[in-house]
Structure 1
Amino acid sequence: KVSVVPSAGALVIKALKEPPRDRKKEKNIKHTGNITMDDIISIARIMKPRSCARDLRGVCKEMLGTAQSVGCTVDRKHPRDVCKQIDSGEVDCPVA
């Protein structure tokens, strides 16, 4: 049985609730939106089997990197800042 999981970028854009755009007509689209940390954690749970990270915290950080490349913010903050807050322990991210 084969299961298809969309890419991390597609899941982040889906969480932004933006309408799908025609990729052939528009290039280098920046999505200016905001998603919550709960959205990032739920996307990380979906992507965990495909990730090389050891725990969910690592997968969350991967998804924050994807959110940064898509161009959106997480809880009204830059994804890189949220990643640093996870490292310092300010933002609680589940391990499993």
Structure 2
Amino acid sequence: MKSTGIVRKVDQLGRIVLPMELRKGLDINIKDSLEIFVEDERIILQKYQPSNACYITGEVTNENKVYQGNIILSPKGAKILLEQLLPDNTTK
């Protein structure tokens, strides 16, 4: 485990503030969910990613599909991926 050198106090409601530099570096945005794990005496925070979330957009929809290699794509994510892989005139 790598130390960031950042120390924060817990407030009276049990909250801590994650510094902006850390949030940006880990792509944690306002209203993102964090999953909490405990290992021995360590608390581990990890950005929550639902098991059926699209790898491209992060969307969770009933239309998400699992492809070979367990790649999950939403319809929007599949369209974005196709646009990136195919020349401009073949996706229309």
- TM-score scaled to structure 2, two decimals? 0.25
* Larger RCO of the pair (alpha carbons < 8 Å, separation 6+): 1
Task: Indicate the structure with greater strand content.
Answer: 2
Task: Indicate the structure with greater helix content.
Answer: 1
Q: Which has the larger radius of gyration?
A: 2
